[in-house]
């Protein structure tokens, strides 16, 4: 059994198959992680942590909903502030994503400050 089949502590997803695909190195919230070639960002993130992001509206942790790009629940951001759908964006070598919106994305309200200060 390869190391890829063992989950990271606190991960939501556990890889049970396709463990022989090449590794892809990327950064999630400044932390270096690996995914497998062909994984979406959603799979990459949830293979390393319990949730994808916090709701901007204060209703808790989110982990994606429809898994096909229709529900708007899986947004993540590049380091430069570009918004990406984690469920339909392939993880790529060297990619750096954030699970909280950049301050310039929305006005910094008390609710947004609270969300940005929480641990996932």
Instruction: Dump pLDDT digits (tens) for 65-101.
Output: 776 777 777 889 998 888 899 999 999 999 999 988 7
Confirm whether pTM is higher than 0.75: no
Q: Which residue has the higher pLDDT, 116 or 26?
A: 26
Q: What is the pLDDT of residues 1-42, one digit of tens each?
A: 344 445 577 777 777 777 889 999 999 999 999 999 999 999
Report helix, strand or coil for 92: coil
Rg (CA), the chain: 14
Position 120 scores a pLDDT of 44
Q: How far does CA 73 lie from the centroid of its chain?
A: 11
The CA distances from residue 43 to 48, 107, 111, in Å, are 9, 29, 28
Question: Tokens representing 64?
Answer: 């994606």
């Amino acid at each position: 059994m390869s190391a890829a089949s063992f989950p990271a502590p606190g991960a939501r997803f556990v890889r049970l198959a396709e463990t022989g695909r090449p590794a892809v190195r990327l950064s999630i919230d400044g932390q270096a992680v690996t995914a497998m070639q062909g994984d979406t960002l959603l799979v990459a993130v949830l293979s390393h942590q319990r949730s994808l992001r916090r709701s901007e509206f204060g209703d808790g942790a989110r982990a994606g909903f429809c898994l096909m790009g229709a529900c708007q629940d899986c947004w993540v951001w590049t380091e430069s502030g570009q918004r990406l759908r984690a469920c339909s964006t392939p993880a790529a070598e060297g990619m750096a994503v954030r699970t909280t919106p950049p301050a310039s994305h929305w006005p910094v309200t008390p609710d947004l400050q609270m969300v940005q200060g929480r641990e996932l």
